[in-house]
Amino acid sequence: MPWVHPREDLPIGLFDSGLGGLTVLHQLQCLLPGEPLLYLADSARLPYGERSPSEIRAIAEEAAHWLRVRRVKAMVMACNTMNAVAADVIRAEVKVPVVSLIDAMAASLNLNPGDHVVVLATAATVHSGAYGCAIRRYFPTVRVQEIACPGLVPAIEAGERDSARLEQLVTGYLAPILHETRPIQALVLGCTHYPILRPLLQRLLPWPAPLLDPALPAVMALKQMVQTTGLAAHRPRGSMQFCCTGQTTHFAAEVSNWLRQPVQVEQVSLQSVLLSH
């Protein structure tokens, strides 16, 4: 498929394994309300965080190709695992500006030498070391502690927000930092699903700590990009289109609840698009 220069009326693409990207969509609605949005959820294959790097990169190629065929003018990788493991694959395939959550988060931090930053993320993101590398590019002497949190994404996708089981899981993952004698300067929510658990995290932490959502600096970077490149939409309210690879009923119900308005969800196949082009 030949590359076509993006136009301002084309949508911004968001890609996640499921509901986590809604936290990015929220920031887009706040900061870029006039932009049309195309949200792709690969819910048939979630969670990505427990998959191998080769699997994640193969999925990234399929998703990026699908978004390219559907004509987006820019893209937000609304999945930290994809950012960590397959950003190069997505940028090479989609051929439009792509905003990275991890890079935007690292660039937005305000830290001093010796500060302690904790990153909660999926196993694949933690194993990649992507957050540590990105943060140390700007702050070489800070301490970055990355904690893998398997099981949180499936629980959130199943509708859990404050259950006893979820609280037990989160408490276990926070255990390495609960007895820190020195304050933590930042706790990065390194999975787009995790901001949904902000109230639970704030309740379980014994001391106040900034809970940082990478979606905000990422969307701020995207806003600057579309404005400086002439790609910004000129309308008061942009449209939203939702697509998913899994069962649509549950996903549509969760999105409708999140947005407080009914939505239609199109079921799609990423593989069929890749094979047809």
**pLDDT tens string 60-90:** 999 999 999 999 999 999 999 999 999 999 9
Tokens 């399929």 belong to: 62
Q: Which of 79, 149, 243, 244 is catalytic?
A: 79
Task: Provide the pLDDT for residue 3.
Answer: 45
Q: Which two tokens stand for residue 230?
A: 């002439």
> Which pLDDT tens digit goes with each residue over 82-117?
999 999 999 999 989 999 999 999 999 999 999 999
Q: What is the CATH number of the domain that holds 34?
A: 3.40.50.1860
- At which of 197, 213, 229 does a domain end? 213
Average pLDDT over residues 212-229: 97
253 with 175, same domain: the answer is: no
6 belongs to a structural domain: no
Question: What are phi and psi for residue 16, nearest 5 degrees?
Answer: -145, 170
User: Within a 10 A sphere around the Cβ of 182, how many other Cβ atoms?
Assistant: 9
Cis peptide before 47 (omega within 30 of 0): yes
Task: Tell me if 13 sits within 8 A of 87, measured CB to CB.
Answer: no
Domain that holds residue 258: 12-101+216-276
What total of structural domains would you count in the chain? 2
Q: Which of 149, 191, 243, 244 is catalytic?
A: 191
- Answer yes or no: 79 catalytic: yes
Residues in the chain: 277
3 belongs to a structural domain: no
- Answer yes or no: 243 catalytic: no
> Which pLDDT tens digit goes with each residue over 130-158?
999 999 999 999 999 999 999 999 999 99
Q: Model's pTM, two decimal places?
A: 0.94
